[in-house]
Structure 1
Amino acid sequence: MSESHLPDTMTTIELDDFGGPEVLVEGTRPLPVPASGEVLVKVTAAGVNGPDLVQRRGHYPPPEGASDLLGLEVSGEVVAVAADQTRWRTGDRVCALTNGGGYAEYVAVLADHCLPIPDGIDEVDAAGLPETFFTVWSNVFLGRTVPENGTFLVHGGAGSIGSTAIQLGAAMGLDVYTTVGSDTAAAFAMSLGATRAINYHEEDFVAICREAGGADIILDIIGGDYVARNIKAARRDARIVQLAFNLGSKVEIDLMPVMLKRITYTGSTLRSRSDGDKTRIARDLLDNVWPLFAAGALRSVTHAVIPLTDAAEAHRIIEGGKHQGKILLRP
């Protein structure tokens, strides 16, 4: 589609209030104009992520200058470019990390936060890659020492973060242990490369990890009582990475084991990182992770593709906790 044939308006999904999925309503807005360093992407698909749900509830405001629309990742076609942008051309197919605005037919994104569609990955499925791969790679692997033949404990292995972490951990040579909520989810996690899938309804991940000598790296999105249990499951010199608190962030714990085991406890949110940080992550992914798709070591994991106008249903699916992999919206 040439720039001269672009429409003046686009369909969006708006927040009519803060609350449950029902606050997501269809709207219409003028087409974005790419600012300096940006490209305009005609959205093929948009990923749905946990932060979208938190923002919908009113607890995750967009950074200053970002779109108020939900949607942190998309795939699609570059249909317009800023005058100072030379990396991408109209017609290029990309997947991109956004600061918001993905729940729409078009979105303006920084050119440096776009990546080519990986070899062998469908363009729709590619919409589910940026948010989780940027997040997991930057927190667990980028610039960090990964112990040879180490043990990597991933909580929520059937979800979007978990399914990405399992694959990356296995590709990096780690033994991946993961917690899941059903036997079906366990089989799914094993198919992604997990060494051991632990059904938390029936087994104690602390006992299993300690029997294996302890976890070298723990990736947690649960919080609550898992914070103290992770410390118990960790090996000496382990690293615990906190990415979310589905069971709450206010906990009372004994920190003495952190000292005795020399544990590093860290965490971050991706959206609040600087544009420069995200650019560096994108470049490292392109160099070190994107080739793994072509080699067959990584794959996209899409649970369902839902019409953009049914975004509320996509949120209900994620809140139900039964999905395996990514939920995508298609305009």
Structure 2
Amino acid sequence: MASIGEFSTKGAYVHTGEEFTRDTNYIEDRITRDGTFPPGTPAPEGAKAWPVEAGRYRLVAARACPWANRTIIVRRLLGLEDAISLGLPGPTHDARSWTFDLDPDGRDPVLGIERLQEAYFRRFPDYPRGITVPAIVDVPSGAVVTNNYPQITLDFELEWTAFHRDGAPDLYPERLRDEIDEVNARVFKDVNNGVYRCGFAGSQESYDRAYARLWDAMDWLEERLTRQRYLVGDTITEADVRLFTTLARFDPVYHGHFKCNRNKLTEMPALWGYARDLFQTPGFGDTIDFVQIKRHYYIVHEDINPTQIVPAGPDLSGWLTPHRREELGGRPFGDGTPPSLVRPNERVAAGHNPLYA
């Protein structure tokens, strides 16, 4: 196990006087059912399509990362465990890359690499951007296919249908797609990325703007979820997955570490009830590793936590308290069924989550 000092990212996140701007230029390759871009979807310049093929690809997704956590949830809800294997980097990394320090000998057991960076460089020797998770890697070549996380989950839902489990829910129903996309756009801009815009702000002015936008959006969500159980329609959709991973990290990390401290999630009745409802739904809470989440943010983000001290709290037992959201109606999986139990080799470690005593 590497020492904490080896994971330096000092100067990588906060730039004095500047607003935090996320680089959203990702590898735009896609994995589709026939290895071509769907009709009416032009291929981005330089991008290629890869064919859906069970066993060919490995999803590399750190539990600590909210963007990667989405893919773990969707893979589990749809029952894609046999079709797409899962690699789990550890929660801490340096400025170069996520590492497989939780695996024996510090190497991913399928890809045989120590750093995710190796898979990126195998495809793009001079890859100029961040080495991000989630990433899908082509196992035969060991090369990265894509790290375009918003598209990865949509393709799991729409392109991998031949390998969905019996009873898999429809997370992106055609009749609701416009509304889901609209909700997702605001949630990404002001909540998912909004907490980072607060935490990595390089000036008081940029922080104040981000803080105001975050809480305007949180109040909008609170109002919306006071009258309906899920974000769009009466079942779980892609929109709920995308919001949940931010809410799960809100009190343990974003409230204090990112200075999003107007109030805690536990002080917003509808949002806190909604978050608990999803947490207690198979496929959501059973993917959350609070210990890894806290280690990632508080150790890796030296710019805003130079001591790298990881806080002991908060108390997580409240995640298992009754939420009564079922009184609003709704059917979590629609005409589908819950996923089966988490596979033993993919279980969150005991003590890292109140579901895993």
TM-score using structure 2 length: 0.26
**Which structure carries more helix by proportion?**
2
Higher RCO structure, 1 or 2 (CA under 8 Å, sep 6+): 2
**Which structure carries more strand by proportion?**
1
